[in-house]
Amino acid sequence: MIDRFGPTAPDFSVLLTKAEERELSEDEVDALFAEGAIGVAALQARATAALKTNQASLENLVPNSLVYFERFCGPKIAGADHEEYFRRVLPQYRKDLIRRDLVRGLDICLQGALRDGLMPGTWTNHVNDDQLWDTLTACDPWCNPFALLGGLDIALGRQHDDRYRTFAGEAVKKLIQEEFPRPDGNDTYELLPLWAQLVLNRINALEGGALHPPCWKRMCAWMQAGLLARLTQSINLELESVREWIEANQTLTGEYAKMVDLHHEPMYYAAEMSRGAFREEVIGRLLIVRDRHSTAGRIVPGSERIGEAVTKLMAQGSLGWALPGPLDGHCRPAETGRNGLSEDDREKFIEDFAHAPDAAILSTFAYLSQRYDLGEELLVRMREMSNSRMAR
């Protein structure tokens, strides 16, 4: 029974030892039954059953439990240093999941590969090629671009094996396509953001949910969305019906919390949940993976085509591939020290803003601020204009 709980459950090994020596207490038995009823594995099994029997509801697709998300996605962020969390705390949690249960642990890590520092390639170095290949196959990362990026990271590090080299080539080919098609003909780039919007709204409406850092909530939203995308992979979905159902289940409380989140994380693009932003994020992540593995001396299949995909986006005037991802809303360019403008460029931007202080240029500079450090003077002017327009 305990094996069925998976790696996200509490460690019941001590309890098993005690059970060999004596009868378990009522509290200990209750803990076991609670995990079997409302643990991560139980709630995900409930969602699977509901979809198979055409009885899906908001309650069984998105659990009414912050504990569920803390176990499935990662522990809540305890301090103000979010980078410490994403660089040390969360990776250690994910590594422990793999250690406890290779298949189910890696599956969670693939769903949660939402940032380059959370890619599981090096976390599986201790696993031999055959065992890891069987594990990767069992995880089936082909339903979700984020999961496939994680699978690609693993494969690129093991190209001495033809299976991984072939996987890497096929993954790159699929990830650079304009669409990420499902068996029912729908585009995952359309569907996954819809699921993510639903989950984020639900988390914000839970008691205490809105108080969690926005980046943690978005991580949970995208991971649960990935799970739902996979659970519905064999179901023929009517996209517009799904869209209408999701819109009908949005709450004002959840929407208001998203606005409040912008005060905590000013990089608004990180909160973008749309088809275009999703695909551009995947292309940008693909570029990062390519460059990292190329720097390490590895051949990346389809490397030129990745570059062409980025060039095409640039030709369309898009910076989406280089803008903050879902977990980067707290990373302001001015604080990271990256992408600073020269003094000449800043002065030119200030001059442009002064001569055309309208909504269009405000929108343009707001977009650029997601990528570049525009300087405090220009940001102050943008805030003043924004406040002035809101006061009208």
Q: What is the pLDDT of residues 51-109, one digit of tens each?
A: 999 999 999 999 999 999 999 999 999 888 999 999 999 999 999 999 999 999 999 99
Please state at what angle helix 188-205 crosses helix 214-231, rounded to 10 degrees.
130
337 against 168, higher pLDDT: 168
Phi, psi of 42 (to 5 degrees): -65, -45
The amino acid that residue 199 corresponds to is V
Provide CB contacts within 8 A for 173, sequence distance 6+.
Answer: 302, 305
Structure tokens at 209: 């949910």
d(CA 94, CA 117): 12
d(CA 38, CA 46): 10
Q: Is the pLDDT of residue 391 over 60?
A: no
Q: Is the pLDDT of residue 14 over 80?
A: no
The amino acid that residue 201 corresponds to is N
Residue 191, number of CB atoms within 10 A of its CB: 24
Structure tokens at 198: 């639903």
Q: Could you give the count of Cα atoms lying within 13 Å of 140 in the half-sphere of its Cβ? A: 8
Largest CA distance in the chain: 81
| C-beta separation of 156 from 190 below 8 A | no
Q: Is the pLDDT of residue 16 over 70?
A: no
Q: Is the pLDDT of residue 20 over 80?
A: no
Strand partners, 181: 187
In this prediction, residue 369 carries a pLDDT of 78
Length of the chain: 392
Structure tokens at 351: 């001059």
CA nearest neighbour of 228 among 59, 107, 48, 68: 48
Q: Is the pLDDT of residue 29 over 80?
A: no
Give the global pTM: 0.91
- What's the rounded mean pLDDT across residues 331-359? 72
Which residue matches tokens 């103000």?
Answer: 80
